[in-house]
Amino acid sequence: CNVVVLISGSGSNLQALIDDLGAGDSPARIQAVLSNRADAYGLERAKAAGIATELLDHKAFADREAFDAALIARIDAHQPDLVVLAGFMRILTPGFVRHYQGRLLNIHPSLLPKYKGLHTHQRALEAGDAEHGCSVHFVTEELDGGPLVVQAVVPVNVNDTAESLAQRVHVQEHRIYPLAVRWFAAGRLQLGDAGAILDSEPL
């Protein structure tokens, strides 16, 4: 299973994927890592692992459509079976999402459908939630709204700050994202009409 990973930042989820999928038994192989930002530390992580990297600066394009068209061309040069968004901080056009329908995954730092968008840890704290967490989902045209694949729950402590909570959520992100990618690569996970399907059972 050929995987292309898209990043914009630190790439700690990318690192978790590199570490897990680099194992001999892995059904998935990361062909390339693309970033829209030159300063994304994840690019260094990819290079250190001997993975091809590409930079596509969205600021060099007139609009989202033009950027996404160029992005599709770059991604498809690697003939991916799966495209993985790992902290890719750009909203994708409907055309892009449709093009990768059923083979585009994202990870989001909340228990979706709660807290779509940004500042999820702060919002969970302000709401007084007892539990917070992260979600892997198939990407559809609704931002952070596609069918869920797997979630991990993190208890919220009374003395948590957004940073301390984010740190514990990250640990769980690094556990569930490789899991979801392995399921997909092994042919166990797909997007059906009514949602995600794991081992022919609706999730």
Annotated binding site: 11-13, 64, 89-92, 106
75-94 residues near ligand GRF, rule: CB under 6 A: 86-87
Largest interatomic CA distance in the chain: 49
> Half-sphere exposure (CA, 13 Å, Cβ side) for 203?
22
Q: What is the C-alpha to C-alpha distance for residues 98 and 179, in angstroms, rounded to an integer?
A: 24
Q: What is the C-alpha to C-alpha distance for residues 104 and 189, in angstroms, rounded to an integer?
A: 12
Q: Fill in the per-residue mask, 95 to 124: x = in contact with ligand GRF (CB under 6 A), - = not in contact.
A: ------------xxx---------------
Is residue 10 part of the contact set for ligand GRF (CB under 6 A)? Answer: yes
To ligand GRF, the closest distance from the beta carbon of 108 in angstroms equals 5
174 noted as active-site residue: no
The correct pick among 5, 12, 183, 189 for binding ligand GRF (CB under 6 A) is 12
| φ, ψ dihedrals at 154, nearest 5° | -125, 125
Using the 8-state DSSP alphabet, how is residue 113 labeled? T
By beta-carbon proximity to ligand GRF, the closer residue of 18 and 71 is 18
Closest CA to 78 of 57, 51, 47, 97: 51
Q: What is the C-alpha to C-alpha distance for residues 31 and 12, in angstroms, rounded to an integer?
A: 18
Say how many C-beta atoms besides its own lie within 10 A of residue 31's C-beta. 18
- Which position among 58, 78, 99, 108 bears the catalytic label? 108
By beta-carbon proximity to ligand GRF, the closer residue of 33 and 71 is 33
- Size of site (CB under 6 A) for ligand GRF: 12
151-180 residues near ligand GRF, rule: CB under 6 A: 173
Give the active site residues: 108
Which residue ranges make up the site for ligand GRF (CB under 6 A)? Answer: 9-13, 86-87, 107-109, 134, 173
